[in-house]
C-alpha cells in the first residue's frame, strides 16, 4: 500500500504557483467514468489510473470507486482544499467532491487514506439540496478557504438560471452562496481572483435544454447562453455582464491566470469556437477581446459549417500556455500567451473527431475526440479524455456507446512549445469489467492547473 507522500504533496496546497510547478510528479490520476447513457445499469465510478512509468501497472486502471446508483452522470469534481487555504494547518487536500449532474447527489471520496484505492466517505442527497436551496444540476466545484462553492445549472425543476451551492468543510448544506442572480441568464463555470475582488461566471443552458441533447433550434430561440458575468466577489452579486454576441455563443470554461496579482483570463466560446481574453486596464476598466478564432469547416455532415466546438480550456501553472480542445474537429491546441492579447500557436495534435484526420491513435479507433484536458503541474503532461456529455456523445459520436471512451497522454514542451501524443500510454475504457464506459474529467492528488487558486 502506498503512503500519501508517495503520491502527492503534504498539506492543502502550495504557497505560490512557482512552488506548485516544483511539486513531486504525480503517480496516479483520478478520472470520472460514466455508465449513464450507455445502457449499462451500473453506477458511475472514479477510476484510479497508474501513471508512474516505473510501476508494473503503469497505464492501467488499478482501482474503481463506485458511487450511488445508476444514472447520476458524474461530470465535474473538485477538491475540499486547495492553495486558497494553504495557510490553514487544519485543512488537508483529502477529499474529492464528485456530484452527479442528473441526480444532484454529491459523493465525497477519501483519496488520502490510500491514494491508490480511494473510498466513498459520505453522500449528500440531491433531493435534500433541491429542498433547501431550490438548486439542481451541479457543475464546477471550487474550495473557498475552508468552505466549498458549487455552480448549479438549474432550479429544482431543471429551469434556468441556477445559482451557487454553499457547503461547509464538513460537507453540510449551508444554503445558497450568492446574494443576487440579477443579470444571470444561465449558469455553468466560474473562477475567482480574490486579490481583485473578482469572480467570472459563464453560461451553458438550462438542464431541461441541454440534458436531452443538442438542438440547433434552441440556439436561435435564445435557450443557450452568450454572456459572461463579472461578480463583486465580496458582495456575491454580479457587477457587470457582457454580451459576447454571435462571436461568443455558449461560453463555457473560464480561467484566470494563476498569478493572484493578475486580472487577465480567458473564456472559450464553444459553439462560436472563439477564445476571448479579459483584463482590467491601467484605469481599472474591464476590457474583453476576441484573440483566437477557430474556423468552421463545411464537411457535408452537419447542415451548417462545422465549428471546432471548444469544450475545455486550461492555462499552464506558469501562465505561459493556453490549451484547448476542439471536440468536433478533433484537435488539441497549445498557444503561447506570454502576450495574452496576441496568442501564438505553438503546438497541435489530432485525435479522432469528425474531420477524419486521426481516426486511429495508438492502435485504437477513436470514438469521440479530445474533450476534457488536465495538465501536470510542471506543464509537461496533458491528460486527455474523449467524452463530453452522455446524450451529446450519443448524438455526435454514437459508436462511443458501444466502444467506450479513452485516455491518452500528450507530452508538452514547456520551454519551447510543442505537443506529441505519447505512444506507450492508452487507457481503453471500452474494456472495463462491467462494459464500455465513458471517461470525463481528471484530477491529480496534489492539485492541478484547473482548481488551485491563491488568495
Mean pLDDT for 196-219 is 97
- Cite the DSSP H helix spans in 313-431: 390-396, 400-403
Q: Using omega within 30 degrees of 0 as the cis cutoff, is the peptide bond preceding 49 cis?
A: no
What is d(CA 355, CA 244) in angstroms, rounded to the nearest whole number? 28
Say what the pLDDT of residue 293 is: 98
What is d(CA 106, CA 104) in angstroms, rounded to the nearest whole number? 6
| Rg, Å, the chain Cα set | 20
Say what the pLDDT of residue 87 is: 81
Say what the pLDDT of residue 10 is: 43
Residue 1 above 80 pLDDT? no
What is d(CA 275, CA 267) in angstroms, rounded to the nearest whole number? 6
Mean pLDDT for 193-198 is 96
Query: What is the band of 302 on the pLDDT scale with cuts at 50, 70, 90?
Result: confident
Mean pLDDT for 38-52 is 97
Contact 36, 442 (CB under 8 A): no
Q: What is the average pLDDT value for the chain, to the nearest integer?
A: 95
Query: What is the band of 11 on the pLDDT scale with cuts at 50, 70, 90?
Result: low
Higher pLDDT, 145 or 259: 259
Class of residue 278 by CB neighbours under 10 A (exposed 0-12, middle 13-18, buried 19+): buried
Mean pLDDT for 116-132 is 98
Q: Confirm or reject CATH 3.40.640.10 for domain 4-443, answering yes or no.
A: no
Helix and strand totals (H; E) in the chain: 7, 31
If one counts every other C-beta atom within 10 angstroms of the C-beta of residue 455, the result is 14
Assign 241 to helix, strand or coil: strand
Class of residue 140 by CB neighbours under 10 A (exposed 0-12, middle 13-18, buried 19+): buried
What is d(CA 438, CA 39) in angstroms, rounded to the nearest whole number? 12
Residue 7 above 70 pLDDT? no
Quick: pLDDT tens for 343-362: 999 999 999 999 999 999 99
Which letter does DSSP use for residue 320 in this model?
A: -
Name the percent of the chain in helix, strand, coil, to the closest 5. Answer: 10, 40, 50
What is d(CA 397, CA 388) in angstroms, rounded to the nearest whole number? 10
Quick: pLDDT tens for 387-412: 999 999 999 999 999 999 999 999 99
Cell of 56: 508494473
Q: pTM of the prediction?
A: 0.96
Please report the DSSP string for 109-172 in residue order.
EE-SS-TTS-EEEEEE-HHHHHHHHS-EEEEEEEEETTEEEEEEEE-TTS-S--EEEEE-TT--
What is d(CA 252, CA 440) in angstroms, rounded to the nearest whole number? 16
Q: What are the beta bridge partners of residue 28? A: 50
Query: What is the band of 86 on the pLDDT scale with cuts at 50, 70, 90?
Result: confident
Return the domain boundaries, the chain.
4-443
Amino acid at each position: 500500500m502506498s503512503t500519501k507522500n508517495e503520491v502527492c504533496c503534504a498539506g492543502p496546497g502550495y504557497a505560490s504557483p512557482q512552488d506548485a510547478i516544483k511539486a513531486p510528479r504525480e503517480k496516479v490520476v483520478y478520472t470520472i467514468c460514466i455508465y449513464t447513457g450507455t445502457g449499462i445499469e451500473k453506477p458511475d465510478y472514479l477510476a484510479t489510473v497508474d501513471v508512474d512509468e516505473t510501476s508494473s501497472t503503469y497505464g492501467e486502471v488499478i482501482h474503481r470507486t463506485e458511487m450511488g446508483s445508476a444514472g447520476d452522470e458524474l461530470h465535474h469534481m473538485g477538491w475540499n482544499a486547495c492553495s486558497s487555504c494553504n495557510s490553514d494547518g487544519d485543512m488537508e487536500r483529502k477529499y474529492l467532491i464528485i456530484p452527479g449532474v442528473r441526480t444532484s447527489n454529491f459523493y465525497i471520496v477519501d483519496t488520502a487514506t490510500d491514494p491508490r484505492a480511494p473510498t466513498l466517505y459520505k453522500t449528500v442527497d440531491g433531493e435534500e439540496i433541491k429542498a433547501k436551496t431550490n438548486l439542481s444540476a451541479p457543475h464546477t466545484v471550487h474550495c473557498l478557504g475552508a468552505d466549498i462553492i458549487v455552480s448549479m445549472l438549474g432550479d429544482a425543476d431543471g429551469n434556468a438560471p441556477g445559482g451557487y451551492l454553499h457547503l461547509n468543510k464538513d460537507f453540510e448544506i449551508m444554503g445558497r452562496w450568492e446574494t443576487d442572480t440579477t443579470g444571470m441568464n444561465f449558469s455553468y463555470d466560474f473562477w475567482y481572483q480574490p486579490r481583485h475582488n473578482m469572480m467570472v461566471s459563464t453560461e451553458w443552458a438550462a438542464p431541461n435544454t441541454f440534458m436531452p441533447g443538442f438542438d440547433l433550434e434552441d440556439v436561435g430561440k435564445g435557450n443557450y447562453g452568450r454572456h459572461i458575468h463579472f461578480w463583486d466577489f465580496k458582495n456575491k452579486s454580479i457587477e457587470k455582464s457582457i454580451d459576447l454576441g454571435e462571436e461568443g455563443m455558449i461560453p463555457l470554461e473560464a480561467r484566470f491566470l494563476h498569478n493572484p496579482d493578475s486580472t487577465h483570463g480567458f473564456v472559450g466560446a464553444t459553439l462560436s469556437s472563439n477564445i476571448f481574453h479579459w483584463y482590467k486596464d491601467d484605469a481599472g476598466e474591464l476590457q474583453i477581446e476576441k484573440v483566437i478564432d477557430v474556423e468552421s469547416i463545411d464537411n457535408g455532415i452537419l447542415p451548417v459549417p462545422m465549428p471546432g466546438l471548444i469544450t475545455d480550456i486550461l492555462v499552464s501553472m506558469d501562465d505561459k500556455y493556453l490549451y484547448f480542445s476542439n471536440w468536433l474537429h478533433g484537435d488539441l491546441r497549445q498557444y503561447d500567451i506570454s502576450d495574452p492579447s496576441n496568442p501564438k500557436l505553438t503546438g497541435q495534435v489530432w485525435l479522432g473527431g469528425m474531420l477524419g484526420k486521426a481516426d486511429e491513435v495508438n492502435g485504437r479507433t477513436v470514438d469521440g475526440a479530445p474533450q476534457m484536458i488536465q495538465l501536470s503541474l510542471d506543464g509537461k503532461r496533458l491528460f486527455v479524455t474523449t467524452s463530453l456529455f452522455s446524450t451529446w456523445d450519443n448524438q455526435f459520436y454514437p459508436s462511443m456507446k458501444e466502444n467506450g471512451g479513452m485516455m491518452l497522454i500528450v507530452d508538452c514542451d514547456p520551454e519551447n512549445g510543442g505537443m506529441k501524443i505519447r505512444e506507450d500510454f492508452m487507457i481503453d475504457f471500452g474494456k472495463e469489467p462491467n462494459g464500455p464506459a465513458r471517461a470525463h474529467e481528471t484530477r491529480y492528488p496534489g492539485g492541478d492547473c484547473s482548481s488551485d487558486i491563491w488568495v
